[in-house]
Amino acid sequence: MEESRQLQASSRYVLLVCTLASFLTPFMGSSVNLAIPTIGVEFQAGALGLNWVVSAFLLTSAAFLLPFGRLADLYGRKKVFLAGLLGYTLFSLLSALAPSLSFLIAMRALQGMSCAMIFSTAVAILISAFPAQARGRVLGINAAAVYTGLSAGPFLGGIITHYLGWRFLFGVNTILGLAALVITFTKLKVETVGAREEKFDLAGALLSVPSLAAIVYGASTFSLGAFPKLLFFLGLAGILLFIHQETAVPFPLLDVRLFKSSTAFTFSNLAALINYSATYAVGFILSLYLQVARGLDAQAAGLILLVQPVVQVLLSPLAGQLSDRVEPRIVASAGMALTSIGLFFFSRFNSQSPIALVVANLLLLGLGFAFFSSPNTNAVMSSAPKAYYGVASSILGTMRLLGQSFSMAIVTVIFNLYLRGSQITPASAPLLVKSMNLAFFAFALFSLGGIFASLARGQIHQ
């Protein structure tokens, strides 16, 4: 009886620390965006330098997910998770003390590497601590923490930056990181190691890291000239070479058999890639639409856009719990269907569409996102062998970051098609609306295709 109570208490602390860590990373990313103009003023930086404050974090996060996930499976997920929290906290503090823009960019890159350690282990640790019948529920709570970070970031980031300065923003993240570290050190007792007898594939890591970085950066800046396009295709070539190389080594960084042996694993990750490609840019597009085409100020636009993540926060635990009882492919596919409908509705909006309809459609999208995310994560992790939880979590994280990059690349190409690089002002609102309509129609088609990938995953529950 006493041992059972200790296990329950340990599981609660696992949920607490993983949820806090899952809140931290999106909160950091979304809140820093609000501080970019202030950082530019202090360091007298141009657009290119400020872009690297954001891009450096994204590039290293995406590039190092897979190596850290494999290291976690080999040598201990708690060790890698702790190292990630320690790095996140330290580099947040150093970012707050940054004497120059180049120093800040370097700290952001190291912070992205630290977040890759957290991304690749948090979900793996979480599902290792709970029985299979409770996975959906705890993954839903974890997803709610992610959406809370995304939605609270712009709001709180704006307030902190306005009243206390951008350095205090990194200070807040330092304090939160310290809190997560203390809980992990004192309360997280269980260590999970999946395949200690195997060796780390250093050659695979050296090939995958620059290839993924090239793909993410190339996709994010695809329309800015020949060099990003070259980087993108070189990255794709590198990934193809990496996959070929992984089939020839005894202990690969990425075991291709994970995809060959499990339809559920393959199509769940494909569904995640499609979903993020179709949805990540929604907030970016609607922010421009509400402020430029509809004349709202930033605060009013932000409050309207808050509707979607709030719905996700409220419904993600319910959707995750539902996927414990109903096949995740059913729940997640229904979520993608709702998302497709919402994206298509936005493709029909114009500059006179009632704001109430914008809010109603954001409610629909929030519902769709909630019913896709945690059930899909449940499907990915439930279809992976326990020894590969770290790698499985890393692959899913990579799909998310690649999808986000592809989403912004699609928007950039479409906007350049109509606006041709001109400044976005109220005078260009008609062209902005046309760009928005085409982008949302393309995203709706993407999401529609994702429904079939989601349905094709097959059964998860035995």
Instruction: Please give the full DSSP string across 112-157, using - where no structure is assigned.
Output: HHHHHHHHHHHHHHHHHSS-GGGHHHHHHHHHHHHHHHHHHHHHHH
Predicted pLDDT of residue 92: 92
Q: For 420-426, what is the mean pLDDT?
A: 67
Confidence of residue 310 (pLDDT cuts 50, 70, 90): confident
For residue 327, what are its two tokens? 């096949």
Query: Tens of pLDDT along 339-391?
Result: 999 999 999 988 888 999 999 999 999 899 889 888 888 888 778 777 777 77
* pLDDT surpasses 60 at 177: yes
Mean pLDDT along residues 199-209: 83
Q: Are 112 and 91 in contact (CB under 8 A)?
A: no
pLDDT category at 3 given cuts 50, 70, 90 is very low
E-strand stretches of 131-281: none
Please report where in the chains the tokens 């890393």 appear, as a residue: 394
Do residues 410 and 442 make contact, with C-beta atoms less than 8 angstroms apart? Answer: yes
Q: What pTM does this model have?
A: 0.79
At 298 the pLDDT is: 65
Burial bucket for residue 265 (CB in 10 Å: 0-12, 13-18, 19+): buried
More confident residue, 58 or 173: 173
Residue type, position 462, single letter: Q
Mean pLDDT, residues 297-320 taken together = 80
Q: What is the pLDDT of residue 104?
A: 92
Share of residues in the chain with pLDDT > 70 (%): 90
**What is the per-residue pLDDT for 197?**
67
Task: Measure the CA–CA gap between 408 and 266, rounded to whole angstroms.
Answer: 24
Per-residue confidence (pLDDT) for residue 2, from 0 to 100: 44
Q: Rank 39-43, 319-323, 362-366, 457-461 by mean pLDDT and report only the highest.
A: 362-366
Which of 138, 133, 161 is CA-nearest to residue 39? Answer: 161
* pLDDT band at residue 307 under the 50/70/90 scheme: confident
Averaged over 322-344, what is the pLDDT? 87
pLDDT band per the 50, 70, 90 thresholds, residue 47? low
Would you place residue 422 in the very low, low, confident or very high pLDDT band (cuts 50, 70, 90)? low
Q: For residues 137 and 186, what is the distance between their CA atoms, to the nearest angstrom?
A: 25
Mean pLDDT in residue range 163-180 = 87
State the average pLDDT for the chain: 81
Q: Which of 107-116, 209-218, 244-253, 432-441 is the least confident region? A: 244-253
Q: By three-state DSSP, how is residue 358 classified?
A: helix
